[in-house]
Structure 1
């Protein structure tokens, strides 16, 4: 178990609060054009002006965290490799922890004030270059609300312990316990779920799989009736939250599997999910949500800013049994899934 785990949790939550409050204040003060200005393109993603706000707060507070723990920090915006060691003189191989963070997951939705974003953090014992997403023992995610939104949720979990949550009221300053509850529905019928297709390139192929999946599991729709719904939330942390709160029954982000199609067309690779986008999936699993890769295995990836990842989330075992076999068949028909080696 991580040394002084509860103290570390408290410190990370304070860092999240500082980032949240500064980003919200910046959104209230600055124009949409200023927030959405592209300032860099780095290994993990495009960096927008709003991202720089969170990065400044992050580095300031993690320097203080380095007085209590030694760690390798993994985050986009920290240069091409996305790595920084605290305290600076520490040998990375001897650091106690690896901390992976996405200071704003859902930047695009937040900077246009369309949808809340999330601060995501996962903490794992340092196992050197072999440190993996599956090694994370503490995960915390905090909502960055829209300017017009007065509530902000925070969820966290230690490995092997129940997930917990808290809801903060920006108007009153009060916090109340939050009890996330994934959907207990036994079918996807009349519920939300989807295959992610955020960006141009392979939307048609991903939508075709989604349509075929619904047809195979629910059959043809009756005239004037809708069988199921979808919600394209461009934030992996946000998608996990929707599963954890019982809003969504399943979600699949399979963008890496479609990369060969882009290559065959002579098009550049698209933007995919990375380990920092999924560093809080531990919370979902502690709530009983089934999270797998495209092969049905537990997520496994190095803690870096560049590895492309596919993932699938099922609210419960009944939804998994309804969706997983049909989805596996469809993926074999439409794509050649990447080797699990």
Structure 2
């Protein structure tokens, strides 16, 4: 809950730096609320031997299917949004509801606003990225939150000022990780006790400087069965090139199909992944298929956290990955553990993409 003493007093932040500094604690508060909500929801389902209550689809939202655990997280986010909107106007995007705009009604409540032109922040949230892992208590999901300052229209990734991604671990975990970043100020890695929320340790996160293309994870993400054969062909062309031209030991190029784009990016910044390629939209375009792909809300917060740590993310054209924060834009991307790894790997990836034919 927002402390009763917190009221809408004083002027709004005057610069991008102030917006980021003032709002990052609120993003971290939301992330912690979503972590506790996910743990509570999963614990109740496990204790009652009813994972079906969290893993069944309950609706189709603006951007994706909403499962039981997503609905609980969206409700938690809705409470946070309403509490913040009592104090000052803001806009929030989620995959379930799209963009919503609210502000104070002058009577200790909130009112809907017609659009972005209210002078408050614009915030992009995926309350549970990696739903399919977490809802079956298989692997962690991540909450993904990004903030842009005031504006009159939909923000783009280049407008991100602050971000926070929070690990939502499975029931066996005792520690959860959180990455927080402000543009130009680096990334902080915090580890917390999942029961108490106590921060156990916290330090700046810096990507390593190793440019190796083996002895690590280098996945090509292929979530859908109808894309897997083609993604494998693309990956084979890439690995053949780095074996021949870079001397990579392919027996030590490991795969990992983590159904969580923010988690993939976090593992890249942490050095677990050397690179990750999500070519689903690239492949689907060439096959003439409609495929479930990465969307802006999946990765907006993760991109800023990862780049501020010194890892690198590009489009599959090798350019800056910029996009509108909406529920529709399909994305493909490549992420690299650092700039040196990108410089070795990207030419081979671009060549493999150029040579690819369905």
TM-fit CA distance, 1:6: 3.1
Matched, 1:186 2:211: yes
Q: Which residues of 2 match residues 253-272 of structure 1 at below 5 A?
A: 253-263=278-288, 269-272=290-293
Contact 2:186 2:204 in 1 (8 A): no
Q: Kindly tell me the number of residue pairs found equivalent between the two proteins.
A: 328
* Alignment partner of 1:5 out of 17, 20, 31: 20
With over 3 angstroms needed to count, the CA separation of the structure-2 counterparts of 1:194 and 1:225, relative to structure 1, is closer
Shift of 1:324: 0.7
User: Is 1:67 aligned to residue 82 of structure 2?
Assistant: no
Question: How far off is 1:4 after superposition?
Answer: 4.9
1:200 aligned to 2:225?
A: yes
Q: 2:243, 2:250 within 8 Å by CA — same for their partners in 1? A: no
Which residue number in structure 2 is paired with residue 339 of structure 1? Answer: none
Counterpart secondary structure, 2:163: strand
Match among 324, 335, 346 for residue 302 of structure 1: 324
SS at match of 1:17: helix
2:335 corresponding residue in structure 1 = 313
Q: Report Cα offsets for 1:315-339 as digits up to 9, x if no partner.
A: 1222112211111111112169xxx
Between 1:57-66 and 1:183-192, the stretch displaced more is 183-192
TM-score (norm 1): 0.90
User: Quick one: structure 1 residues 145 and 57, their matched pair in 2 at CA, closer, same or farther if it must change by over 3 Å?
Assistant: same
Q: Give the whole-Å Cα distance in 2 for the aligned partners of 1:130 and 1:21.
A: 30
Q: CA deviation at 1:39?
A: 0.7
Question: What secondary structure is seen at the aligned counterpart in 1 of 2:342?
Answer: helix
Cα distance in 2, alignment partners of residues 3 and 316 from structure 1: 28
Note the alpha carbon deviations across 1:154-181, whole angstroms, 9 max, x for none: 1111111111121101246531214434
Report the more deviating stretch, 116-125 or 85-94.
85-94
Q: Which moved more, 1:51-60 or 1:252-261?
A: 252-261
Measured after TM superposition, the shift of residue 107 of structure 1 is: 0.2
Aligned residue for 1:36? Answer: 55
CA contact (8 A) 1:183 1:249 kept: no
In 2: Cα distance, 1:130 partner to 1:5 partner: 18
1:242 is matched with: 267
Q: Structure 1, residues 168-196: CA drift from partner, whole Å, max 9, x if none?
A: 01246531214434343222121111111
Distance 1:136 1:15 in 2: 17
Aligned runs of 1:71-220 on 2, under 5 Å? 71-78=90-97, 82-87=98-103, 88-95=111-118, 96-171=120-195, 173-175=197-199, 176-219=201-244
Secondary structure of the equivalent of 1:285? helix
Residues 218 and 227 in structure 1, CA contact (< 8 A), matched pair in contact too: no
Does the CA contact (< 8 Å) of 2:154 and 2:326 recur in 1? no
Cross-structure match for 2:13:
none
3-state DSSP of counterpart to 1:258 = helix
Counterpart Cα distance in 2 of 1:220 and 1:288: 26
TM-fit CA distance, 1:220: 10
SS of the residue corresponding to residue 56 of structure 1 reads helix
Partner of 2:106: none
Contact residue 190 and residue 229 of structure 1 kept, 8 A: yes
SS in 2 for 1:86: strand
In 1, the alpha carbon distance for the partners of 2:39 and 2:70 equals 12
What is the TM-score with the length of structure 2 in the denominator? 0.86
Q: Counterparts of 1:89 and 1:133 in 2: how far apart (Å)?
A: 25
* Aligned match for 1:24, one of 13, 33, 39: 39
CA RMSD of aligned residues (A): 2.1
Which structure 2 segments of 5+ residues have no match? 1-15, 104-110
> C-alpha separation between the residues in 1 aligned to 2:17 and 2:126?
21
Using the TM superposition, give the Cα deviation of residue 219 of structure 1 relative to its aligned residue in structure 2, in angstroms: 3.0
Whole-angstrom CA distance in 2 between matches of 1:298 and 1:4: 24
Gaps of 5+ in 1: 337-341
Aligned counterparts of 2:96 and 2:112: Cα–Cα separation in 1? 21
